[in-house]
Structure 1
Amino acid sequence: MDPIKLSKLENIIKSEFSNINGIVIVRNGYVAYERYFNGYGPDNAHHVASVTKSIISALIGIAIDDGYIKNEDQKVLDFFPEYVVNADDLQKGEITIRHLLTMTAPYSFEDWQEPLDKMCMQSDWTKYILDMLGQKGNIGTFKYSTAGAHLLSAIISCSTGKSAREFANERLFKHIGMKEIPNYEMKSFGFDDLFGKNVKGWVSDQKGNSTGGWGLTLTPRDMARFGFLYMNGGIWEDEPIISERWIDESITSHSQTIINNSVAKYGYLWWLLEDKGIPTYLALGDGGNVICCIPEKDLVIAIASEFIMNPKDRRILINEYIVPAIIE
């Protein structure tokens, strides 16, 4: 990468993307750029919000590889035999893991108006989500759901006997050079508890399930490691961590929605976009937390940010300043 063009990034980030606290750029398997801002450093973990969903996707894949889950077409209710389904809600029994992974399960809330705060105040998040699941709408229609990702976390707990955090520490994180992620039990439900600085480790619900759609803290280097693992076909230092089949399925379009008047495709809890004709897959979290993988350029970009409302689109930084710094 062109060091002169990369050297201009610092001023651009400070002036136009001021809530970015850390950025790591990996090209051809090597760290090409790493900078920290606003008093943060390489060891500071950030709440990466919905980037957590893409981690959950990886864990579902590993659980399938390990035989804990049959496949992504297994019915959700298989994992919750104690749950009683109403006779007038038979659609619920047809919903599969694949529907949760692709955001194509129906729920009672309107699209993009999910009552996350209400869910967090329930004594049993899983039952609350199962009650919502299958209500209104049709299976196969895209509806973004953090609750659905949490249900996947509960499925990991039911199938493996470990929380998603414990399973991730054992089967994913330690294998790619990450430190063990501690558990964090949320005590209150204010803004910083749900989105900001009060989030530590990996949040769990009252039943011990790790939050599936948010609540995980990672360093920018951790984020870059995870992105590189996907770029490398699930292999880390010659050790297979995630099957190549799962990664291929995860970054293949299975559903789509409209965002800002443009079509956005969706894989298995990964966003699939094209910028100037270049395919890109991304783990995206509120506030501007991003793991961006561009296979055609052998490029991984990890950005950790302080949560603010309506941050400037990180794709502007990536497409206008980072990608042009590549030396072909």
Structure 2
Amino acid sequence: MNQEKIKEFEKIISDDYSNITGIVIQKNSIKLYENYFNEYTSDNAVHVYSVTKSIISALIGIAIDKCDIKSVDQKVLDFFPDYTVHTGERTIQDITIRNLLTMTAPYKYKTEPYEMFFASRNPIQDALDLLGGDDPIGEFNYSAIGGTHILSGVLAKATGRSILDFATENLFSQLEISVPHNVVLRSEEEHFSVMNDKNTRGWAVDPQGINTASWGLFLTPVEMAKIGQLYLNGGVWNGKQIVSAGWISESTREHSQCVQWGNLSYGYLWWLIDRDSYAAMGDGGNVIYVNTKKQLVISIASLFTPEAKDRIEFIKGYIEPIFEN
């Protein structure tokens, strides 16, 4: 590695990406770079925001591999048999797990009611009440919070277990990822204080005790890189198939397209960057990036800041040219 390039790279972080807490860069399964910023160390986990969605995607795949879920084409309401469909409501009955994974489910709102979901005593119930409506199934409609959280309900119903227990047995323990307990948030003040607390570890739960699917997971950069490496390895870790290769292939190919955000393609809760790369992305600039052609895995952990600078531009413009050879 060119040390002058590394110094330039780290100056860019300091000047333009000052909310970054840690970066891990691996090529051909070999760690080339690991560094921490903002008084964080390798022991400090970060709230990775919507990167959580991509972890949920992996767990849905594992549940299908284990036959807890039949397929992505199962109807969402199959898992909620007690849900009362309103008179005249038809769309919701046709929405599938695939629609939730690919952000192609319609909702009865134009702007997602974030505050309502965060204040809700039963956000899955409220999300189901807002699922469907007059718009057609199949058009990209990003669910930042509520709709995606329905997948946690599906997973809990299908496995008969808590999300954290299922994830620990089938994913986290295999990769030596530490998510030791649930994170219970009792107030708005507690929510905000925990989000940037470097001593927090775990996974947030909703008031029903269900781990959140859209946000709420705390990981270190090394743990994030492990998820990326697992996907680059076709789901194999230490010689064991953790997630099926078929699921990873399906998860990282185009199923829908987000026109409003630069025509980015979307898989199963993974963003497709170009023909060779895909990423899990969360608010503040949290990223797990995988380039299959260059055999690169890059994880970036960040503290939340509004309108954080584009990490993919940073990765493509600065990181890959330094570490791709």
TM-score w.r.t. length of structure 2: 0.95
Between the aligned partners of 1:308 and 1:180, the Cα distance in structure 2 is 24
Q: Do the aligned partners of 1:288 and 1:311 also contact (CA within 8 Å) in 2? A: yes
Secondary structure of 1:8 counterpart = helix
Q: Do the aligned partners of 1:165 and 1:210 also contact (CA within 8 Å) in 2? A: yes
Q: C-alpha deviations, 1:260-319, integer Å up to 9, x for none?
A: 5x2110000000012xxx531010000100111111110011000010001111122211
Matches within 5 A, 1:134-173: 134-145=132-143, 146-173=145-172
Between the aligned partners of 2:190 and 2:281, the Cα distance in structure 1 is 19
Matched residue, 1:186: 185
Consecutive unaligned residues in structure 2, runs of 5 or more: none
Match of 2:277 among 275, 280, 292: 280
In the alignment, residue 100 of structure 2 is paired with which amino acid? L
Q: C-alpha deviations, 1:17-55, integer Å up to 9, x for none?
A: 100010000111011100100100001010000000000
Does structure 1 residue 71 correspond to structure 2 residue 68? no
Does structure 1 residue 131 correspond to structure 2 residue 140? no
Between the aligned partners of 1:92 and 1:194, the Cα distance in structure 2 is 37
In the alignment, residue 310 of structure 2 is paired with which amino acid? D
* % identity of equivalent residues: 47
Regions of 4+ moved over 4 Å: 1-4
> Residue 192 of structure 1: CA displacement?
4.8
Matched residue, 1:106: 106
Q: Do the aligned partners of 2:45 and 2:220 also contact (CA within 8 Å) in 1? A: yes
Query: Which sits farther off after the overlay, 211-220 or 141-150?
Result: 141-150
Does structure 1 residue 258 correspond to structure 2 residue 259? yes
> Residue 99 of structure 1: CA displacement?
0.2
Between the aligned partners of 1:122 and 1:326, the Cα distance in structure 2 is 45
Between the aligned partners of 2:216 and 2:294, the Cα distance in structure 1 is 31
> Residue 191 of structure 1: CA displacement?
8.8
Q: C-alpha deviations, 1:35-77, integer Å up to 9, x for none?
A: 1001000010100000000000000000000110001000100
Matched residue, 1:47: 47
Q: Do the aligned partners of 1:289 and 1:303 also contact (CA within 8 Å) in 2? A: yes
Q: Do the aligned partners of 1:153 and 1:211 also contact (CA within 8 Å) in 2? A: yes
Secondary structure of 1:296 counterpart = coil
Q: Do the aligned partners of 1:104 and 1:255 also contact (CA within 8 Å) in 2? A: yes
Between the aligned partners of 1:224 and 1:22, the Cα distance in structure 2 is 11
Q: Do the aligned partners of 2:179 and 2:218 also contact (CA within 8 Å) in 1? A: no
Between the aligned partners of 2:87 and 2:136, the Cα distance in structure 1 is 17
Query: Which sits farther off after the overlay, 100-109 or 196-205?
Result: 196-205
Query: Which sits farther off after the overlay, 30-39 or 175-184?
Result: 175-184
TM-score w.r.t. length of structure 1: 0.94
Q: C-alpha deviations, 1:196-223, integer Å up to 9, x for none?
A: 3267511111111100000111001110
Between the aligned partners of 1:2 and 1:253, the Cα distance in structure 2 is 36
Between the aligned partners of 1:317 and 1:292, the Cα distance in structure 2 is 11
Between the aligned partners of 2:236 and 2:4, the Cα distance in structure 1 is 32
Q: Does the C-alpha gap of structure 1 residues 83 and 24 become closer, same or farther in structure 2, counting only changes over 3 Å?
A: same
> Residue 10 of structure 1: CA displacement?
1.6
Q: Does the C-alpha gap of structure 1 residues 90 and 196 become closer, same or farther in structure 2, counting only changes over 3 Å?
A: same
Consecutive unaligned residues in structure 1, runs of 5 or more: none
Please tell me the root mean square deviation across aligned C-alpha atoms, in Å: 1.7
> Residue 327 of structure 1: CA displacement?
5.0
Matches within 5 A, 1:21-100: 21-100=21-100
Q: Do the aligned partners of 1:186 and 1:193 also contact (CA within 8 Å) in 2? A: no
Matched residue, 2:297: 300
In the alignment, residue 91 of structure 1 is paired with which amino acid? T
Q: C-alpha deviations, 1:87-130, integer Å up to 9, x for none?
A: 211111100000000000000122xx311221121221111011
In the alignment, residue 116 of structure 2 is paired with which amino acid? K
Paired positions, count? 322
